[in-house]
Amino acid sequence: MKNIAVLVSGGGTNLQALIDAQQNGILKSGKINLVISNNPDAYALERAEKAGIKAVVCSKKDEGSNFEDKLIEILHSEKTDVIVLAGFMCILSEKFTSEFTDRIINVHPSLIPSFCGKGFYGLKVHKAALDYGVKVTGATVHFVNEVPDGGKIIMQKAVEVKDGDTPEILQKRVMEEAEWKILPLSLEKVCSQLK
């Protein structure tokens, strides 16, 4: 069983999808044993505690320039094998990503290489997709490297864009139809293949 840490900043809907997948036996090659939030008010911390998962706050505000060092220290102290960025609103440096090469995964709410990279997160991604007029969007799970949304793709799932969609409506559909399905499957795949 691989030890999984999930890094979060907000509500934790993707974390909940992973917790559910673990309880339903979809995630069987790893176990979520740690949730770290950079935001002390993140509802994701409550989700973790309700599921009996250790929850820790590590914020840039408190740690300053030691933020990534502190994250690395916490992750190593829990013997973390795989890290999931699930709505984690911090760009991580090469120093951090190279410490866990091919062991950090992220879910992005578009079909990479569309609407990705620096500045593309949350509703901004869905607004850009709608402004461009695409008929299909989706989600991508990829490995994380020093380039925002630049790592190798693990899994993608397409989602139809419908007439009358707003960024909020589209965001919800992409989460329900793509993110919450492919994130647990991708995590299981990575855990099962990790030496």
Mention every residue, 6+ apart, whose C-beta is less than 8 A from residue 24: none
List active site positions: 108
